[in-house]
Amino acid sequence: MLSTGSTQLPSVPVARHLLVLATAAALPAMVQAADSSDSQVLEQQDDVVITAQTYRNTGTKSSLEPEETPQGISIIDRETLDLRGVSSINEAMRYTPGVNTELRGGSVVRMDQFTIRGFDNAQNFYDGLQLLYNDWNLQPQIDAAAIEQIEIFKGPTSVLYGAMPPGGMVNIIAKQPSHEETGSISATVGSDNLQQTTINKTGSLAGRDDLSYTFTGLTRKRQSSSNC
């Protein structure tokens, strides 16, 4: 007696194993396609610019340019200081909008006192750090020979610098080292028998690209004056 044959379908476990094998075989091609798609998306995006590693912008404590700063800020650079021949912070800020420096007369240079937007201020900052001031007879002054620029921040500054007059603040920026070899020497004479010599030198240290220096020297002799 003959019997007809029949074809049996694979059992469920065998079918599951076959599905896993097929998925594993196709996975490398799927990953490669995804990587190619991601790379195309990254190539189409704009360059990412990171702004950091500086405290030089007084208004934001970042490297934003002054024209990109949302707060009001005025900058007096080294070239302007040289052109005016200033000997104090008050003299440097005489032509700054919103600032009045003639509280004790234009010839008084022994202390810096001014108003910003109508509020009295005699508290300066040096590279973002507050200079000690006792509000009576002690106020440190940074000589103009050691200053790179002066930044006048107008408006409330307590969020960035703590308790300060609401009119604004003055941040003095020190001269910074540079790999470019430069040097200068100048001599000054003036009233009250003023005799002054200033030396500036900057460049790479021992010819290394990762080390640089700046040197500022100042000698001054002057007779005493009621305005000094």
The pLDDT value recorded for residue 86 is 85
Same-domain pairing of 103 and 149: yes
Q: How confident is the model at residue 1 (pLDDT cuts 50, 70, 90)?
A: very low
116: its two tokens: 């910003």
Residues 153 and 210 in one domain: no
Q: CA 190 from chain center: how many Å? A: 36
Same domain, 169 and 93: yes
Task: Using the structure block, give the residue that is written with the tokens 């005489």.
Answer: 94
Residues 136 and 188 both lie in one domain: no
Instruction: Kindly state the tokens that stand for 159.
Output: 């969020």
Task: Return all residues near 42 (Cβ < 8 A) that are at least 6 apart.
Answer: none
Q: How confident is residue 16, by pLDDT bands cut at 50, 70 and 90? A: low
Report pLDDT for 7: 47
pLDDT digits (tens, 9 = 90+) for 83-105: 888 888 888 998 999 998 877 76
**Any domain includes 78:** yes
**Residue predicted with more confidence, 192 or 92:** 92
Q: Residue 85, Cβ neighbours under 10 Å: how many?
A: 10
Last residue of a domain, one of 174, 193, 208: 174
> Within this chain, do residues 130 and 110 fall inside the same structural domain, yes or no?
yes
Question: So what's the pLDDT on residue 176?
Answer: 83
Together in a domain, 118 and 200? no
Same domain, 139 and 211: no
129: in domain: yes
Q: What's the pLDDT score for residue 80? A: 92
pTM of the model: 0.66
- Residues 72 and 154 reside in one and the same domain: yes
Residue 122 lies in a domain: yes
| Side-chain half-sphere CA neighbours of 192 within 13 A | 11
| One domain, residues 150 and 211 | no
What pLDDT score does 76 carry?
92
Structural domain including 205 reads: 182-221
Is 213 found in the same domain as 166? no
Between 137 and 72, residue with greater pLDDT = 72
Q: Is 56 among the domain residues?
A: no
Interatomic CA distance for residues 206 and 176, integer angstroms: 17
Residue 124 and residue 152 in one domain: yes
Residue pLDDT, tens place only, 19-67: 666 666 665 665 565 555 555 554 555 676 655 555 566 777 777 777 7
Neighbours of 197 (CB within 10 A): 13
Question: What's the domain count of the chain?
Answer: 2
Average pLDDT of the chain to the nearest whole number: 76
Measured CA to CA, the distance from residue 226 to residue 89 in angstroms comes to 18
Answer yes or no: do 116 and 77 share one domain: yes
71 vs 155: CA distance, rounded Å? 7
The answer to whether 147 and 131 have CB atoms below 8 angstroms apart is no
